[in-house]
Amino acid sequence: MSNSPTQIQLIQPDDWHLHIRDGEIMKDVLADTARQFARAIIMPNLKPPVTTVDLANAYRGRIEASLQSLGVTGFTPLMTLYLTDNTSAAEVRKAKAVGVAGFKLYPAGATTNSDAGVSDIKHCYAALEAMQEVGMPLLVHGEVTSADIDIFDREAVFIDQVLEPLRKDFPGLKIVFEHITTKQAAHYVRDAQTSGKNILAATITPQHLLMNRNAIFAGGIRPHNYCLPVLKREEHRIALLEAATSASPRFFLGTDSAPHAKGAKEAACGCAGCYSAFNALGLYAEAFESVGKLDKLEGFASFYGPDFYALPRNTKKITLVKQAQSIPAELPLGDATIVPLRAGETVAWSLA
């Protein structure tokens, strides 16, 4: 492939980290994702959270009804459960039996709807033991929550205080370090000695590949560029871009597209989350092109995720074209609207 192609073909990608919420607004956001991706890992941080197999089955039913109302076929939601201090080994086994894709660890208080999350990982050891045994992935929001740790350091401190001890205690547990944002996380995942293949991986969002923390404060406060973990310094963005384009199977696509209505973002205490689903693939293509690595996009977007989760790769192909797409200032979200990432600007690549 030349270094500056104007179109690229790839096996259809999947989104390995996605929020679609529930109720009326779900179909507005699902449509954007289903246009681009074949499958997505559906985050369980609803109100109340999806903590049991029964709740996940019910949620899957509502997602399928929503897809049907949109006339979408050929999109598969991959369900996850929300880990709590009380998750039992029996629930883990039950989840494995019905094809739940993973359990999500939210340290209590770390982010949106994480109040019911884990207060101390030690409370989860019976569940983690079972997860290790049956090959159930643990999806990790990797930030410590103590108020005395600077918000920009919370991910790096999490590695030392939580992740490394956890991996020592459960060397065979499959772990996805979700939406990594720092050089420390990228290097930790890259360099980790593991007990086998597909034991440790990380997802990376488009916003963390394209922006650094200046974007939150460019000319004034920019609530639509605020997500958690928060954007970091430029040196971290560069390390993430290096990891994503390195063709290491440990790094794959997860948008963390996280819809919040415009009013909930543009507020005195605005919610965390960037809505990237509208043209997520275009954003990733821009990032890869910026370092001349478009030829590495397919592995990151379409191969390493299913390989890690031991699912078949997709077979259908899609084409991305280098054609600027205008991103609307707002999109409908139920009775409200949402401001997508890059609103009012263009993205250099789009789906053919």
342 and 324 Cβ atoms separated by less than 8 Å: no
Residues carrying an active site annotation: 256
Backbone dihedral region of 99: left (phi > 0), alpha (psi from -120 to 50 degrees) or beta?
Answer: left
Choose the contact partner of 45 out of Zn ion, ligand DOR, none; CB within 5 to 8 A by kind. ligand DOR
For 94, the token pair is 């039950």
Select from 244, 242, 212, 243 the least CA-distant residue to 227. 212
Is 36 or 112 the residue whose CB approaches ligand DOR more closely? 112
Q: Is 227 in the site for ligand DOR (CB under 6 A)?
A: yes
User: How near is the Cβ of 86 to Zn ion at its closest, in Å?
Assistant: 22
Choose the contact partner of 56 out of Zn ion, ligand DOR, none; CB within 5 to 8 A by kind. none
Q: Which residue has the tokens 């790769």?
A: 313
Distances (CA, A) of 233 to 8, 43, 167, 181, 183: 31, 27, 27, 9, 10
The residues in 128-157 that bind Zn ion, with binding defined as CB under 5 A, are none
Q: Is 19 in the site for ligand DOR (CB under 6 A)?
A: yes
The residues in 272-331 that bind ligand DOR, with binding defined as CB under 6 A, are 272-273
Interacting residues of 222 by C-beta distance below 8 A, sequence separation 6+:
215, 216
Is 36 or 45 the residue whose CB approaches ligand DOR more closely? 45
Q: Is 207 in the site for ligand DOR (CB under 6 A)?
A: no
- Report whether the peptide linkage leading into residue 328 is cis, meaning its omega lies within 30 degrees of zero: no
User: How near is the Cβ of 179 to Zn ion at its closest, in Å?
Assistant: 6
Q: Which residue has the tokens 């590695």?
A: 159
342 and 350 Cβ atoms separated by less than 8 Å: no
Sole binder of ligand DOR in the list 45, 80, 181, 225 (CB under 6 A): 45
Sole binder of ligand DOR in the list 186, 258, 341, 347 (CB under 6 A): 258
How many residues bind ligand DOR (CB under 6 A)? The answer is 10
Residue ranges that bind ligand DOR, judged by CB under 6 A: 19, 45, 111-112, 141, 227-228, 258, 272-273
Residue ranges that bind Zn ion, judged by CB under 5 A: 256
